[in-house]
Structure 1
Amino acid sequence: MGPWLATAARLLLGGVLVVAGALKIPDPAAAERAVRAYQLLPEGLVGPVAFGLPVLEIAVGLALFAGVFVRTAALGAAALMVVFLVGVVSAWARGLQIDCGCFGGGGEVAPGETAYPGEVVRDTALLLVALALARRPRSRLALGGPPAADVPPDPAHPTELTDAR
Structure 2
Amino acid sequence: MPWVATVARWVLGGVFLAAGALKLPDPDAAVRAVRAYRLLPEPLVAPVAFGLPVLEIAVGLALVAGVFVRTAAVVAAALLVVFLGGVGSAWARGLQIDCGCFGGGGEVAAGETAYPAEVVRDVALLAVALALARWPGSRLALGGRHAEATPSNEEGERVP
Q: Please name the residue that 2:148 is paired with.
A: 148
**Could you tell me how far apart the structure 1 residues matched to 2:83 and 2:91 are?**
12
How large is the RMSD of aligned CA atoms in angstroms?
1.3
Q: Please name the residue that 1:163 is paired with.
A: none
**Could you tell me how far apart the structure 2 residues matched to 1:24 and 1:155 are?**
47
User: What is the DSSP-based 3-state SS (H/G/I as helix, E as strand, rest coil) of the residue aligned with 2:151?
Assistant: coil
Residue deviations 1:25-78 (CA, integer Å, cap 9, x gap) = 000000000000000000000000000000000000100000000000000000
Alignment of 1:51-66 (within 5 A): 51-66=50-65
Corresponding letter in the other structure for 1:20: A
Alignment of 1:1-165 (within 5 A): 2-146=1-145, 147-149=147-149, 152-157=151-156
Corresponding letter in the other structure for 1:153: S
| Structure 1 alignment gaps of length 5 or more | 160-165
| Structure 2 alignment gaps of length 5 or more | none
Instruction: State the percentage of identical aligned residues.
Output: 76
Residue deviations 1:124-161 (CA, integer Å, cap 9, x gap) = 00000000010000000000024425x621343458xx
| C-alpha displacement of 1:92 | 0.1
**Could you tell me how far apart the structure 2 residues matched to 1:158 and 1:98 are?**
52
Q: Which runs of 4+ in 1 moved over 4 A?
A: none
User: What is the DSSP-based 3-state SS (H/G/I as helix, E as strand, rest coil) of the residue aligned with 1:105?
Assistant: coil
Q: TM-score, normalised by structure 1?
A: 0.92
**Could you tell me how far apart the structure 1 residues matched to 2:48 and 2:91 are?**
21
| C-alpha displacement of 1:15 | 0.2
Corresponding letter in the other structure for 2:56: E
